[in-house]
Structure 1
Amino acid sequence: MYLGVSPSKFDQMRQDGRVGPAKLIDSRKVWDVRALDLAFDALPDEHSEGTAEDWKVAV
């Protein structure tokens, strides 16, 4: 929820290295929000791969 993605997308992002490993509290996995912020900041912006008008091509 913090990153705005589904649990399955979060798992994919973990597998491909876009999100780092969890910390463990006993056997519970938790993520540092500061590390999540850094991972989020590293994602490309929408405008870096085209223009905001790209969606109109499919319409």
Structure 2
Amino acid sequence: MNSPITGKSMKLVREADTLAFRKETFNIVYHYYLCEHSGEPFTDDRLNTLNTMQATN
């Protein structure tokens, strides 16, 4: 995925995180793209679904 800020390619990052879902907190491996030039994290529909599915499973 290319950064919407710089237009350059971003790397996919995975890190341990917690996600609140239906009033419960779950430990997940959060996936996102990181723009190395601006430091901003981004997700797309695919990664949002992946992150949410970890909590529902």
Q: Same fold by TM-score, threshold 0.5 exceeded?
A: no
TM-score (norm 2): 0.34
Task: Return the structure number with greater strand share.
Answer: 2
Q: Hey, which of these two has a bigger chunk of helix by percent?
A: 1
- State the structure with more CA Rg: 1
* TM-score, normalised via structure 1 length: 0.33
Q: Which has the higher contact order (CA 8 A, sep 6+)?
A: 2
